[in-house]
Every structure is written in structure tokens, then in C-alpha cells.
Amino acid sequence: MRKLKVVTIGGGSSYTPELVEGFIKRYEQFPLSELWLVDVEAGREKLDIITGLTERMFRKAGLDVEVHATLNRREALKDADFVTTQFRVGGLDARDKDELIPIKYDVIGQETNGPGGMFKALRTIPVIFDIIRDCEELCPDAWIISFTNPSGINAEAVFRHTGWKRFVGLCNGPVNMIKNIRDYLGLSETDVLETKFGGLNHMVFALDVNVNGENKNKELIEKIIEQKHKDTLKNITNIPWSEHFLRGMGYFGIDYCRYYYMKPEMLEHLKQDAAAGRNRARVVKEVEKELFRKYSDPQLCEKPKELELRGGALYSDAACNLICSIYNDTGDVQVVDTLNRGAIDNLPGDVAVEVSCVITKDGPVPLHVGPLPLQAVGLILQLKAFEILTTDVALSGNYDDALLAMTINPLVQSEHKAKLILDEMLEAHKEFLPQFFR
């Protein structure tokens, strides 16, 4: 049996136990032999804690997996089979600024949407390119599975500006949506659910829902209305949709749709949270303190229940299923961020999309889902233009292009506000944006 080596960039993340649990559950299908956890100096303490818990989890499972922790990325990457990324440039302090600065100007501040998502991309994309350059030299046959947000913009940048093909962006959102669909429809384990997803990361829709060969799109919408859309992601305020809007939309969309279709209401909630010192970054800081307190317990040897509060529910299912399926050439269907290649008729073929794909040893092969519905495609085209411009700016550091990108974002759409936010956020994140300050 050949050795399988996985390297996790951002190994000190509170999400790592999710990943480890996923590898343990799938060991027979993916016999992992080496797991390298990589972080930066600022994350050294968390990395040490996570490494100890990881070793205990594998030991409890009776698995002989070598666990290595390092601050030297190049040391870890040598001959890797898979590289996963789950890092946050600037940590939660940077996220705090991404959320709070836009709110000062009555614009939604959020980790992956609007100005916050743009600045997270500007900090992140250069680091991903550095990782790719190392992989080209040290593990040219590795697959990079990127859970790092903003997942879709990062994928767009890689496909648009590098020659690296073995890259897949990943989000736990569609996995949670599939679980919700099964719950809404009251499906048993024996019911066969087939869905086709299409859109962008954090703006994706279940376009086709079939159960045992029968279309259930309309029934699903009625069940969501009946059950008052009870299931939402932990990091998004659950403001109920009206039954009229849901019937008019006709498709089950990811919870992030609220930021666009309920913009004033979501902004008001975010402003209230910020005023109370309860914006999401600060809540996550509290959750992480408790998580790392638990992780430090030498008796703990499993993922604690509290990790679900972190917002990454089913991450291990998404990441480990994908890795397993590529390794075993299974041909099953999963939702990932990859090149469109004709899957969505009314988007260009060379842009990154989030879409249902057949997973093979050669990577994801997008399923043809047809055109996105009229009620979704306009917003998605505008978001895609913003994403493409943002990837260009991440490389150039061009101020004029950055102002344009922020202005056309659907959550901003004001040149005056965009300039105020851009100037303040550039200064706030100056340490991580050398491309703007050469």
C-alpha cells in the first residue's frame, strides 16, 4: 500500500479536528499515512494544541498516521499527494475590520460578501499563489483542495492567473443544503436524492431536485414555507422569507442570498450586532477560546460538539469526500468550485462557478445544468464581474481598478461610499497588502 501524504495549510485552525475526523471515518477508502499541519509564527500556540489533539484522535482510532507540525511550508509540501488550505490572512482581527468598517458607511460588512469579501480576497490570493509556486516545485502532481474563503474568488484567481490546473475550491454550504433538502422532504436513507446545483460560491441554487426519479422542486419550496425555513448556517441571521417571494423564486438558494435580497434588513441586524460588540468575528473569537480550552485537555481525543458553533458544520464531509473520490476515481457527484466549461449555459466557459460535478481521478467534471433561471442570473453576472476585477486587483494593487471593483459590488453600488470604505480598509489592512504600497 503506497503512502498517502496530506498537507494542511492553516493546520492550527479550529476546523482541523473536523478534517481529522473525516480522515478517520474514511481510512479504509483513503489510507492516510502522513498528515502535515502547517501554520505561521502567529499561530504557533494553536498549532501545538491542534497537533496534540490530532495525535490523540488518531491514536484512539487505532490508526498509525504520522502527524507532523511545522512553520516551514516548503518542508511539509515535499511529495504531497493532497494539499488542503484553511487559512485566514490577518486572523480574526482582520475579519473584525472587514465586518465593522463597511457598517460605518451603511454597507453590509461580511466575511465573504461585499467590501469584506473583497479585502479578504486581496489579502488571500497572493498567499495562494505563493503556495502554488511551492507546489509546482515540490509536489507538482498534488491536488490543492481549498476551503479558504472567499472560495469562489480564490478559484477564479487561480484559473485566470496561474497555470495550475489541479485546484478545487470547496464550501460546506451545498453539503448543508443537501442535508436540509433531505430534512425538509422527510427522506429516509433509502430514498435516492439527485440534485443539480449551479451558481457561484455563496450564491448557489439547487436547480433540480429529484427524489427516486420524481421532480420535487415545487414540493421542496412548499415544505420550506411550511417549516419557516428553519435551517440556516450558523453565521447568518435567520430572517424568514415570505411565502410569496419563495414561490416567486422557485428555487432553494443558499442562505447568503439574504445579503442581496434582504439587504436593508440584514444591514440593520449587522448594525445592531456591531453596536452590541457581537459581530460575527467577535462571536467566533469567543467560540474559539472555548474550543481551544477544550482542545488543550489531554483527555480529549475526539471532535467536541461545540465545534458546530464555529460555522463549519459538515466541512469534513465536503473536504474528505472530495479527496476520497479523487483518489478512488469514484465518479460520484459533488458540488465544487471549478471552471464552468459549458455547465451553465448563460455564463462564460472560462469562469469559476459552483456547480455539481462528477468527481474523477482527473478532478471534477461539471455536469450540464443548463441556463441559470432569469431570477438569479442577473445578480450572478454582476457578482462574477466583481470577482474577476477583484482577482486582477489582487495582483496589480491598482487603486483605480480597486475602486471600480468595490463600486460595482451589489452590496455597495455607490462610488462615494466605495471610496470612503476602500481608503479606510486599505489603511487598516496595510500590513497584508504590499501590492498597494510598493
Contact between residue 270 and residue 99 where contact means Cβ atoms under 8 Å apart: yes
* DSSP element (H, E) containing 436: none
Run of H or E including 312? none
Q: Residue 335, class by beta-carbon neighbours within 10 Å (0-12 exposed, 13-18 middle, 19+ buried)?
A: buried
Active site residue 105: no
| Chain-centre distance for alpha carbon 215 | 29
Burial class (CB in 10 A: 0-12, 13-18, 19+), 219: middle
- Do the Cβ atoms of 246 and 225 come closer than 8 Å? yes
Catalytic residue among 184, 256, 259, 295: 256
Radius of gyration of the chain measured on its C-alpha atoms: 21
- CB of 114 within 8 A of CB of 409? yes
Q: Which of 76, 78, 74, 75 has its CA nearest to residue 35?
A: 76
Q: Other C-beta atoms within 10 Å of 43: how many?
A: 20
Cα separation, 177 vs 18, in Å, equals 18
Of 38, 404, 379, 412, nearest to 204 by C-alpha is: 379
CA distance 179 to 201: 18
434 phi and psi angles, rounded to 5 deg? -60, -25
Contact between residue 120 and residue 112 where contact means Cβ atoms under 8 Å apart: yes
Active site residues: 256
